[in-house]
Every structure is written in C-alpha cells, then in structure tokens.
Amino acid sequence: NAGVTQTPKFQVLKTGQSMTLQCAQDMNHEYMSWYRQDPGMGLRLIHYSVGAGITDQGEVPNGYNVSRSTTEDFPLRLLSAAPSQTSVYFCASSPAGQGAYEQYFGPGTRLTVT
C-alpha cells in the first residue's frame, strides 16, 4: 500500500492565484483531514470528512474548500491564495470503527504564496 499520498510536494503561487492540493489514500479509510503547520507550531485543522459526500469545517477553514466524492480522494482547494496561507499542508486519514483513532499522515505539501 502507498498509504497517504500528497501532490505536489512543493508549490509557489502568486497572491490571488487558485490551486488544488491533492490527497489520496489506498487504505479504504472513512475519515480524512487536512491540517496546516506553520513554522514552530503544531498542526491546525482546516477541514475534515467522515465519509464520501460529508465534509465539515475545522479550526481554520477560511480561504479553503474541500469535497469528498470518493473514499480515496480528498482535495483541498485554495480559492484565492494569500501570503498568510504560506505553510506546510498535511493530509491524514483514519479508519472507522471503535478504538481505531490512529491517524496516518501524508508527507506534506510545502506552499509558498508571494
């Protein structure tokens, strides 16, 4: 299994541009989440999904959209990039079921907005 994959690894955007960060998992996990990590800080939750067709906002959702049309994919869209969105973005997945709380993280996408 590839686990959780993210593309691209690096991206530079100009202010106002839009783009989609891709996330895919091949473990048939129900739960998927997007986090951002700013320098020297922990992760903050942007959006999450408890299954295909169901998404919800996290702690810092403004400026981002998500959709979950399949179990495998959970793309994150930046609508109009701003320098404040410069960060490292991590996607994570987790299986359903009682006691299965461990999250599996992708390698991250490093985004710079100029």
Binding site for other proteins (CB under 8 A): 4, 31, 33, 35, 40-45, 48, 50, 58-59, 90, 92, 94, 101-108
Helix (H, G, I), strand (E, B) or coil at 31: strand
Nearer to other proteins by Cβ, of 48 and 64: the residue is 48
Report the alpha-carbon distance of residue 2 to residue 79 in Å, rounded.
29
Cβ of residue 46: shortest distance to other proteins, in angstroms?
10
**Residue 1 or 101 with smaller CB distance to other proteins:** 101
- Least gap, CB of 63 to other proteins (angstroms): 18
CA distance 87 to 73: 21
State how far Cα 68 lies from the chain centre.
11
Cβ 15 to other proteins, closest distance in Å?
A: 25
Which C-beta is closer to other proteins: that of 14 or that of 41?
A: 41
Cβ–Cβ under 8 Å, residues 45 and 108: no
Are the C-beta atoms of 20 and 30 separated by less than 8 Å?
no
